[in-house]
Amino acid sequence: MAGSALHDDVLEALGRRIVGGELAPGTVLTLDSVDSEYDVSRSVSREAVRVLASMGLVASRRRVGVTVLPRTAWQVFDPRVIRWRLDSGDRLGQLRSLGELRSGLEPVAAALAAQRATPEQCGALTAAAGDMVVHGRSGDLEAFLAADVVFHRVLLEASGNEMLAAMGDVVAEVLAGRTHHDLMPAHPKHEAVDLHERVARAVRAGDAAAARAAMQAIIDEATDAMADPPDGEE
C-alpha cells in the first residue's frame, strides 16, 4: 500500500477488534488511549474514530469517551463491516444473512436484466456461463469461481439498478468464501452450471419470468448445498 496508511491502519485495527468481539459493546475507549496504543497523533485517531462512528460501530460523547455500540447500531451494509464479519468468528452468520439477502435480490436482478440488459451485457453473460461449463468440466475451481463471479456481477449490473449493482462486490465475497472454505463440491454440479446457462438464455430472450425462476433455482440449490456441506464439515 503506497499511499497514506496511517489512518486506515487504525481504522482497520479498531474495526476488526470491535466486529470480532474483542471490544464488547459498552466498552469505552478514550482518544488518548487510542493515540498511545497505536502511537499516532490525535488527528489520526480522531479521524479513525470519526469514521467508525459514521459506520455505527462507536459513539463518542464528551466527558465519557468513545463507546463501542451493540450490533444493532452497526451499518451492516457497509462493505468494510461485511468484510470484517466475514474475516471474524461471525463468518457463518454473515454468510447466512447474505445468502438470505441474495435469495431475494438476485432473482429480481435477473428479471430486471431480462428487460434491460444491453447486447454487450448479454454477450458477457453468455461468455461467463460458457466459461463456467468449461472450467466446471476441467475441475479448475479457481477459474470456475472467477467465471461465476463475473456472471453474477454482470447480471447485477445489467439490472440497471445501482443498488443491486453495488451488491456485486458482496456476492463476489460470498462466492469466494464458499469455495475457499470447502462449502463447494470438488466438481461443480452439472445442474447448477446448467441453470446459469438457462439464466443467460432467458435474459437474452428478454424472458423475465424464466430468468427469475432460473436464478431462484440457483440460489435454492446453493442454499441446500450450504445446509448439507459436501464433506460433512462443521
Partner DNA sequence: TAACGGGAAATAATCTGATCTTTGTTCCGG
Partner DNA sequence: CCGGAACAAAGATCAGATTATTTCCCGTTA
Residues that bind DNA (CB under 7 A): 2-7, 29-32, 39-44, 46-47, 49, 60-66
Is residue 54 involved in binding a second copy (CB under 8 A)? yes
Residue 108 engages a second copy in binding (rule: CB under 8 A): yes
Buried b (16+ CB within 10 A) or exposed e, 144-178: bbbbbbbbbbbbbbbbbbeebbebbebbbbbbbbb
Closer to DNA by Cβ: residue 44 or 174: 44
Query: Which grid coordinates are listed for 175?
Result: 462466492
Q: Which does 30 bind (CB under 5 to 8 A by kind): a second copy, DNA, none?
A: DNA
In angstroms, the CA 211 to CA 156 distance is: 12
Distance (Å, rounded) from C-alpha 52 to C-alpha 68?
10
70 binds a second copy (CB under 8 A): no
Which of residues 10, 107, 158, 195 is near a second copy by CB under 8 A?
107
101 binds, among a second copy, DNA, none (CB under 5 to 8 A by kind): a second copy
* 77 belongs to the binding site for a second copy (CB under 8 A): yes
Residues 155 and 39: their CA atoms lie apart, in Å, by 45
* Nearer CB in complex with DNA: 27/126: 27
- With CB under 8 A as the rule, give the number of residues binding a second copy: 37
Residue at 49: amino acid letter? V
- Whether 199 and 215 have beta carbons less than 8 Å apart is answered as yes
- Partner whose footprint covers residue 44, from a second copy, DNA, none (CB < 5 to 8 Å by kind): DNA
Exposure string of 26-44, with b = 16+ CB inside 10 Å and e = fewer, is eeebeeeebbeebebeeeb
22 binds, among a second copy, DNA, none (CB under 5 to 8 A by kind): none
Question: Quick one: 35 or 47, whose CB is closer to a second copy?
Answer: 47
Q: How many CB atoms lie within 10 A of CB 14?
A: 24
Interaction partner, residue 103 (DNA, a second copy, none; CB < 5-8 Å by kind): a second copy
State whether residue 162 is helix, strand or coil: helix
1 touches a second copy (CB under 8 A): no
In whole angstroms, give the CA distance from residue 172 to residue 145: 9
86 binds a second copy (CB under 8 A): no
Q: What is the binding site for a second copy (CB under 8 A)?
A: 3, 7, 43, 46-47, 50-51, 54-55, 61-62, 71-72, 75-79, 97-98, 100-101, 103-109, 112, 159, 161-166
